Chain A
Amino acid sequence: MSQAEPDTQAPAFQLKGSMLAITVLELVRNDLDSLDRQLAAKVEQAPDFFNNTPLVLGLDKLPEGGLEVDLQALVELCRKHGLLTLAVRTGQAAYIQAAGHLDIPVLPPSGARERKLDLGGKAPAKPAEPQYRPSRVITTPIRGGQQIYAQGGDLIVIAPVSPGAELLADGNIHVYGPLRGRALAGIKGDTNARIFCQQLAAEMVSIAGHYKVAEDLRREPLWAEAVKIGLTGDVLNITRL
């Protein structure tokens, strides 16, 4: 009966306390021109950082009694460099009022310890160390209808691979037994990938999308032998192991 009506008594929200790590731009003097230039330089060093990054503007470290900063111009300047102002931190009545006009919340002056942010501009982010990916190792026969994929690495099969089975690897494929199914190495495009098998009896072999089917493979002089298969240019090379 009341199933369609929303339950007006049920809570529609939850309030949660939370600690946010947030960047504070602490202004030490009123010099928007210099700020503009210096921010531009920072952006160049660490472009990823200045990408709609939420920001608190710290105006509480400005020297007392100096010229008042044009808050609207400051907020716009920050936005230009990819920094979005969430709040202004200040205790001064003039800035509190200016923030109110701009609809920006005001935080009390800082007492807490803050860490100087190191954008590490000098050393442009080191390329991640290539991660060691253990090979996928299969020790039981792979049957028709089964598909085994070694993502991001090599596939090692220590058992026969039946007709109708499919082996896939981003890296190399090793079969210590007869390979009677399909084997596709380097499926993400690694042209250096190889296929090794103890007995070539495959329905298809493929490296980085270059393939040969059984009809062609059977004409190979090395059919039924132990072989390695690699790619030279566009050509699959089958050589004795």
Chain B
Amino acid sequence: MVYIIRRLMQAVFLALVMSFLVFAGIFSVGDPVAILIDPEATQAERVRLVAQLGLDRPFHEQYFIFLGNVLQGDFGNSFVYNRPALELILERMPATLELAFASIVIAVVLGIPLGVYAGLRHGSVGSKTIMAGSILGFSVPNFWQAIMLILIFAVILGWLPVSGRGEVGQFMGIHSSLFTLNGLKHMALPAINLAIGHLALVIRLARSGTREVRAQDYIRFARAKGLSEKRIVMVHLLRNILIPIVTLVGMSFGGLIAFAVVTESIFAWPGMGKLIIDSIHLLDRPVVVAYLIVIVMIFIILNLLVDLLYSLIDPRIRLDEVRQ
């Protein structure tokens, strides 16, 4: 409990620091008035707008006004869409989240079995093939890989659609294109494209973990007890290789949400990545600020979840010791 409270206080502090950095950064980037105002406007109109937006006040005053609004959930209106910035972002978030989720699931569900297999059958042809594949998955540039995927599966084979998000279905109150066949088809290529790099990493972690753990005395003792190979791998080995994988997944998930920009652009996926790129071009300050703060919050929450998972997986880790 003490741990949770301390973590939450850290999170609040972190969010404050971030909000300041983001605000200061944006403040120094450019003058939004130049974009907002009609070039024909008179000087008087100009002054009025500046005063209305509060841009005539000193930096620290602007920051505290901004902070006060943010605390009430008000990130301001988008200059471009003239709608609340947070609303715009939350609207796009499900598309990005489902894409990140699908690619993490692909990476983990394929990566752990392949890595464990490669670790158990070290030196076999199968193991060498898997490792060669993972090196390839690592080193191919993301955009080139995306184009190849499109070329093979959409253009040549014609199995999958190239761009956009498919139909959105509903399941247990959640709206997502994960729940329709058409949605899944649309998601397949971008999700695979995002997954490949992480899949390669999960394979490597699972393999090195397996090789380390299977040489441990407790695995030998488990064999000496007459346990089946299946139980030894599924229970004794798997739990012990999970910690580095959970760390990776936690970090990747944040990364996938924040930096899915390339993939979202190539596949015209209507997620936050595309929105933020457009907003940066247009100097749409409230949207950029809101986006960055939302991302920071997501990272903080993911970190917290990873720590909680650690203590569930490994009883030797007590929450208050995770970060001191």
A binds B: no
Contacts from A to B (Cβ < 8 Å): none
Contacts from B to A (Cβ < 8 Å): none
